[in-house]
Chains A and B, each alone.
Chain A
Amino acid sequence: MSRNVVIGLEIHLQLKTKTKLFCGCSTDYIGATPNTNVCPICLAVPGSLPVINDHAVDLAVKMGLGLHCDIKDKTRFHRKHYFYADLPKAYQITQYEHAIAQGGYLDIVADGKEKRVHLDHLHLEEDAGKLVHPTSDGRLSGAAYSLVDYNRGGMPLSEIVSMPDMNSPAEAIAYITQIRQLARYLEVSDGEMESGSLRVDVNVSLSNADGSLGTRVELKNINSLKSIERALEYEIARQNRVLDEGGQLVQETRLWDDAAGVTRSMRSKEGARDYRYYAEMDLAPIDAKPDYVEKIRAAMPEMPWDKRARFTEQYGISFEESQQLTEQRETADYFEALVASGAPAVKAANWMRMEVQRILRDAGMEITDFPVAAKELGSLIAKVESRDLSNTQAKDVLGAMYDGGLSLDAALKKCGAAGGRLTAEALCAVISKIFAEQPGAVETIKNGADKKGAKQKFLQGLVMRETRGSADPTEVAKTLAEMLAK
């Protein structure tokens, strides 16, 4: 029996602010000594009161606008209560009924098809502290005691809750990737899963034959895109199997065990907590007036999908090329600078995707750290276009510019390509020299015994090597043929 897969996602994005959501403590906590980025407010010391970080509100509004949400002018916070060591106040300050951004959607491309994923809302909340269990594998079980690090407590998060609009693991992955890209474009978040600045909870169910929704299972604790894909595949298979065997699914929260590759039950609906949501009276409501929202909207950069569409249109490159070039805003900026410096768009795209990407990949480097200025690379490509340099030569020159940190001129000199394009006379001289060195091969060709053209290709290769790539291969082939015909 075939059942439809229904997936909804909750994504926590850590906002890129300098200070925490409700106090002045630094957000730069990775690697910091435990419990050093803390103050009376984030430790819930008696008498302390939270004060909203306006910049976090700006970023949430920005992300909301990017996701086509409706920004609410009057919003407020609630307290979500639970007793646990990671939560100093014993409640988390979060937005509940009155989230700052409501509705919205995100268009994704999965399996080559475009699809619109609708959103429920985006809200602001503070992060909890982190528990450290002194066991060899870092797990709670077997630990005699646990330590708490409150450096992460109070970090600003925006939670983006989607509607259950995704129908395959591939769509879920495309959605997360697209959210991450947007967050980076807007400089709202680093969006890194490894460091925890992007975290995903997955809701998955199988719809019944009549289209009604099946029992929903929530998956937590998944730390990479690969794991999300695996967890979803496992869970879909598990649910199908249970239903195939005539069993019943229970509404529950399950944890993904990455090592074992399985999901395990954490708590059922009956064990669900009553959070006793209660209005946070210590914080005045947020008043996002229309002119404030418009100011943020006006300062927003071009959206990644708009850029992608514009690139294919304006530069005549393929969708895939455009997608690659716009994946990171900085890559797109570099590409446009390259084109602006005179490089033809299609060639520039090729250079970016092949040579530049290869260097970055090998060096484990980001485009922002790439030492060759777009203008310099543009001049190099221009030399290839005017046939002053061959592709091979140009690649060597780029390598020299990157490795030695050289300017274009210095790199050209170093590679012996400074003289510019090989003249026709020089080429003839080289060919004559090769003929003199390889009389046998010349003889074979002139006798018409080089049926497959192997000897001619061999000679061409020698010419290319002799000219160290400064000759244009088409020109070499043409001249070679002319001289052999004499």
Chain B
Amino acid sequence: MDFQKLSAREIAAGVKAGKFTAVEAARDAIERIKKYDKKYNSIVTLCEERAMAEAEAIDAAVARGEETGPLAGVPYAVKDNFCTQAIETTCGSKMLKGWLPPYDATAVKNMKEAGAVLVGKANMDEFAMGSTTESSVFGPTLNPRDTGRVPGGSSGGSAAAVAAGFVPIALGSDTGGSVRQPAAFCGVQGMKPSYGQISRYGIVAYASSLDQVGGLTKNIADMALVMEALAKPDDNDTTCDAYERPSFTAAVSGASLAGKKIAVLTGYDRDSIDKPLVEAADRAVEICRAAGAEIIEASLPVTMEHTVACYYMVALGDASSKLACYDGMRYGHHEDGKNLSEMYKRSRMEGFGEEVRRRILVGTCILTRGYYENYFVPATKVRQLISNEFKELFKKADALICPIVPALAYKRGLVEEDPVRMYLGDVFTTMANLAGLPSVSINLGFTPEGLPTCVQMLAPRFGDAELLSCAAVIENAAGAPEPVTEKEGC
């Protein structure tokens, strides 16, 4: 069986029908990772033992004729900032190297309940801070579409694992585009649901009010399956909303744009964006129009001007607070010191990499008296204005289309020299996090050089099912991206 060619839905159907076993699917994924991932470095920890146990349990349930979950026997990977019981969880950092969490993240629990089989932990930018997956303590991940380029970040390992065809599904976390941007760079589908849609319990925090679990899949139908498995209220996360979720899979299967109003973002500098990406956005608009949607133009002046600055104020302030618990005392990297203060300084200096230290320092500064009033407080006000701008927009439109990234996948090492340029690359992704909105990155094919092109769609908060429905229409017209096919070892 060529599992690499199968979607999550097809694998689950095959396992349930007895065409192959969950153990075979998991074994295949693990073997291919062992064989081919040297080239990409997308998976940093294989969970072989756990995967086999989970897969055997699924096979036993199928054999007993029991109802198995919608993702029965589907191998998947999670970003290494999801807590996995007794399996090393590092956040790509020396700070947490060797740490074995005492519990599973709620998302991991929910995936297990749906029948999915965890095969590996995916590489990431250290503490989810970065856009290239080059800052990991495990070394960089390479883009399977072009190994001279980065996979994007910070969920670059998750995106690469799906693009390489190791797993049909991977989970990531999205604080300012960390799922959608690598999806765009690697040519897979990526979604960040509404804030409050999925429990954050067990996801090592970057910024509490922005972080959300996201999915990376081969196609939108699989994305609906993943969202349905994950989007549930959770008593362990009070920010996870208790509302009753609609059926995401039903929304996708009946996808139609007839009578829908789709807004197209205007008022940004098209020339500053790589041409294939502008063309991809235009093509997506044409697909929507052809599918019967009414297209309207909309501008988001406050958002487009301030989203990146606002995002970094909010995210870094929060990060400095959430990352303060790494003091070398109870877990994580420890260095001795003459006194408590020196112990802290040395543990944090040695444990955190450069980008993380930079963000903690800036964030600490932002929350310090004086700067707080002059920078942080205005940023929270701007955040409200951005939210309001979207509220107004979604009174007139069901969804918004715009580019997801301003550039095709970066060449490796390029951004290291100029972090500010890396930050500015987040202009189209951060607004969804600031406003708590759902957003998907949809692949629109590849450039002649084989680099993925893509478009972004956003919808009102908790309009996730509707959003997936619209995305399915575009995907139906453009075709879901095929993963890279590995023929020989490396």
Contact = CB atoms under 8 A, between A and B. Distances in A.
Interface of A: 40, 43-52, 79, 81, 83-85, 88-91, 148, 274, 276, 278, 280-284
Contact of A284 (B99, B238, B317, B324): B238
Contact of B208 (A83, A84, A282): A282
B236 A51 contact: yes
Given A90-B324, A90-B327, A282-B239, A46 B317 contact: no
A49 B201 contact: yes
21 contacts: A45-B102, A47-B81, A47-B82, A47-B203, A47-B204, A49-B200, A49-B236, A49-B238, A79-B321, A81-B321, A83-B341, A83-B344, A85-B327, A85-B329, A88-B329, A90-B325, A276-B367, A276-B368, A282-B208, A282-B239, A283-B239
Given A45-B331, A276-B367, A283 B317 contact: no
Given A90-B327, A280-B208, 15 more contacts: A47-B81, A47-B82, A47-B101, A47-B203, A47-B204, A49-B201, A51-B236, A83-B344, A89-B324, A276-B372, A278-B367, A281-B207, A283-B238, A284-B238, A284-B239
Interface string B361-383: 00010011100100000000000
Contacts, number: 94
A281 B318 contact: yes
Given A49-B200, A282-B239, A284-B239, A148 B329 contact: yes
A312 B327 CA distance: 59
B68 interface: no
B321 A91 contact: yes
Which of A49, A51, A89, A274 has the most chain B CB atoms inside 10 A of its CB? A49
Q: Do most interface residues of chain A lie in helix, strand or loop, or is the interface mixed? A: loop
Contact of A40 (B103, B344, B369): B103
Contacts of A40: 102-103
B340 A47 contact: no
Contacts of B325: 44, 46, 88-90
A46 B91 contact: yes
B437 interface: no
A70 B4 CA distance: 63
B202 interface: yes
- Contact-size category for B: 35 or more
Given A49-B236, A83-B327, A281 B208 contact: yes
A47 B369 CA distance: 28
Nearest to B325: A44
Interface string B194-214: 000000111111011100000
B96 interface: yes
Nearest to A41: B236
A50 B235 CA distance: 10
Nearest to A83: B344
Interface string B53-95: 0000000000000000000000000000111000001010000
A48 B204 CA distance: 8
Nearest to A285: B238
A85 B368 contact: no
Interface of B: 81-83, 89, 91, 96, 99, 101-103, 105, 200-205, 207-209, 235-239, 317-318, 321, 324-325, 327, 329-331, 340-341, 344, 364, 367-369, 372
A215 B233 CA distance: 52
Contacts of A85: 327, 329, 340
A281 B235 CA distance: 16
Contacts of B318: 278, 281
B364 A276 contact: yes
Contact of B369 (A49, A274, A284): A274
Contacts of A44: 325, 330
A81 B366 CA distance: 13
A286 B21 CA distance: 48
B269 to A, nearest CB: 33
Contacts of B238: 49-52, 282-284
A278 B317 contact: yes
Given A85-B340, A276-B364, A281-B239, A45 B101 contact: yes
A47 B327 contact: no
Contacts of B330: 43-45, 88
Contact of B324 (A50, A91, A274): A91
10 cross-chain pairs, A with B, having the tightest CB-CB distances, nearest first = A90-B324, A281-B208, A281-B209, A276-B367, A47-B202, A284-B238, A46-B204, A47-B83, A44-B325, A282-B208
A103 B208 CA distance: 31
A198 to B, nearest CB: 29
A40 to B, nearest CB: 6
A91 B329 CA distance: 15
A51 B324 CA distance: 20
Given A88-B330, A284-B239, A46 B367 contact: no
Nearest to B89: A46
A424 B30 CA distance: 107
Contacts of A45: 101-103, 330-331
A49 B83 contact: no
A85 B82 CA distance: 26
Nearest to B127: A46
A152 B332 CA distance: 23
Contacts of A91: 321, 324
B367 to A, nearest CB: 4
Contacts of B367: 81, 276, 278
B368 A274 contact: yes
Which of A46, A49, A283 has the most chain B CB atoms inside 10 A of its CB? A46
Contacts of A52: 238
Contacts of B237: 49, 51
A287 to B, nearest CB: 11
A47 B321 contact: no
A52 B237 CA distance: 10
Nearest to B208: A281
A81 B369 CA distance: 12
A375 B369 CA distance: 64
Which of A276, A281, A282 has the most chain B CB atoms inside 10 A of its CB? A276
A25 to B, nearest CB: 14
Contacts of B239: 49, 281-284
B338 to A, nearest CB: 12
A431 to B, nearest CB: 82
B247 to A, nearest CB: 26
A107 to B, nearest CB: 37
Contacts of B329: 85, 88, 148
A47 B317 CA distance: 18
Contacts of A88: 325, 329-330
Contacts of B201: 47-49
Which of A43, A48, A83 has the most chain B CB atoms inside 10 A of its CB? A48
Contacts of A89: 324-325
A410 B127 CA distance: 77
A276 B373 CA distance: 11
A276 B81 CA distance: 26
A317 B276 CA distance: 93
A3 to B, nearest CB: 32
Nearest to B95: A46
Given A40-B103, A284-B239, A47 B205 contact: yes
A50 B200 CA distance: 11
A210 B367 CA distance: 39
Contacts of A83: 324, 327, 341, 344
A85 B340 CA distance: 8
Nearest to B370: A274
Nearest to A282: B208
A284 B195 CA distance: 13
Contacts of B101: 45-47
